[in-house]
Amino acid sequence: MPFGLLRSFAKGAERLVLEGKEGQSIEAICQEIGLPIDLVSLFLVNGELRSKDYILQPNDEVKLIALVGGG
């Protein structure tokens, strides 16, 4: 589920279904869909913080949260 600035990479969808992506890393999937990995500050899988190297398992729910800037 993309949040904030990342939502534009979901082409208007509220969520992306990643069926058949089990066994791939979060980073590989982001590259596949054209989402620049350096825009993501947090990778949450089933509510737990994970790295971009995490390998997806069946029924995982992934939330990507973009970097937030400000001053």
In angstroms, the Cα distances linking 48 to 15, 25, 26, 45, 57 are 18, 15, 14, 5, 14
Report the topology of domain 4-66: Ubiquitin-like (UB roll) (3.10.20)
Is pLDDT at 1 greater than 60 in this prediction?
Answer: no
At residue 53, the pLDDT reads 96
At residue 46, the pLDDT reads 94
Separation of first and last alpha carbons in the chain: 27
SS3 6: helix
At residue 64, the pLDDT reads 84
pLDDT tens by residue, 3-61: 566 666 666 666 677 778 899 999 999 898 888 888 888 999 999 999 999 999 999 99
